[in-house]
Amino acid sequence: MLSARFKPYHVPMFIAKYLWYVARRRPVLVHFEVTARCNARCAFCDFWKTPASARQYEVESFADAARYFNPMLVTWTGGEPLLRRDLEELVAAVDRVPGLRYTTLITHGGMLTPERASSLWRAGIHQFNISLDYLDGRHDDARGIPGLTAKIFAVVEGMRARGIDNIRFNTVIKDDNLDQLMPIVERASALGCGVNFSVYTDAKNGNREHLLDAEHHAAVDDAIARLLAYKRRRRGVITSSDAYLERIPRYVRGEITEPCRSGLRTIHLDPTGHVKRCPDFPTDFHWRDFRKYEPIACNKCFYACRGEAQAPLEWSRVQDVMGRPHAMQ
């Protein structure tokens, strides 16, 4: 699914830019981590432990970095990016940088309102990705935000009513939400939204509680088969690539052994403007001193940002981009 702000003729332009960057070994996707602060309380991530004083080190603009890398894709993330009151200014400054670019915002959604979403949409966000791992109260508990799930659905309806046509749920596949994946897809479809999947690992802070170990392998196979079957029937709701989904059962069995290519197609800039190859590695240099990364022998995660970057560009990927979820009922 692609926002109606983009036309079908943009797709070959994006593909051409993508192929050019891959050939030149330049990052296609740059994540701007605007803050390491977060007001959730996830047990599998330590961002929320970042002291409020870290705010003083957060850069005031990512526009020069956007000009330098001129990436095809920009993702605004954190921590919780909505904690930055100047987020619209950050987004708008990058939006003014010339270049064909697709811009996403990742949020837990707890502070998102239709009004704030509209103002970010006007500033240049093309896609909102809201974390959603369960449809029931477990999501509120996991994020430590009472009422979060109900708030997300209310905000999404308000956003859709304001013409924001590109909202996705980011769903992390864990040991205890395999039964939630298809219901989340169906709910997303009813709301006119998409779903991006990723896989839980303990790479963030060593929390092994939700790992998909041997006792879950058969259930993972079944859940992934259902997602792929759904995709074959209808494109545009599940926005994870077929190739990525197909490899998840192999990853949880420990069968994916090739080096990780994080840092080649995707990089992360931390809130101070320093570059890291992936969300869970330390920074290596300031973006002004950027040096190209090489593949690394690390297999700690199979996040979408790793698996999708390594997924081949197949025709089904283009179909995913061109497909539309059902309109809101």
Residues binding ligand SF4 (CB under 6 A): 38, 40, 42, 45, 47-48, 78-80, 108, 143, 203, 260, 262, 277-278, 280-281, 296, 298-301, 306
Give, as one character, the DSSP assignment of residue 208. Answer: -
**Closest approach of Cβ 115 to ligand SF4, in Å?**
21
Rounded to a whole number of angstroms, the minimum distance from the CB of residue 284 to ligand SF4 is 12
Q: Which is nearer to ligand SF4, 43 or 92 (CB)?
A: 43
Give the residue with the Cβ less far from ligand SF4, 34 or 66: 34
Name residue, tokens 């060593």. Answer: 206
Report, in Å, the least distance between residue 103 CB and ligand SF4: 19
Kindly tell me which of 214 and 297 has the beta carbon lying closer to ligand SF4: 297
User: 285-286 and 274-276 as β-strands: parallel, antiparallel, unpaired?
Assistant: antiparallel
DSSP string, 35-87: -S--S---TT--GGGS-GGGGGGS-S--HHHHHHH--SEEEEESS-GGG-TTH
From the CB of 8, what's the least distance to ligand SF4, in Å?
32
| Residue number, 92 or 256, with CB nearest to ligand SF4 | 256
Nearer to ligand SF4, 305 or 321 (CB): 305
- Interatomic CA distance for residues 310 and 261, integer angstroms: 7
Number of helices and strands (H, E) in the chain?
11, 9
3-state secondary structure of 296: strand
Nearest CA-CA partner of 102 in 1, 208, 220: 1
CB of 47 to ligand SF4, least distance (A): 4
CB count in 10 Å sphere of residue 200: 24
Put the strands of the sheet holding 194-199 in their side by side order. Answer: 194-199, 167-173, 127-131, 102-107, 73-77, 29-33, 266-269, 274-276, 285-286
Decide whether 45 or 92 has the Cβ nearer to ligand SF4: 45
Output the smallest distance, CB 32 to ligand SF4, in A: 14
Q: Which two tokens stand for residue 100?
A: 């064909």
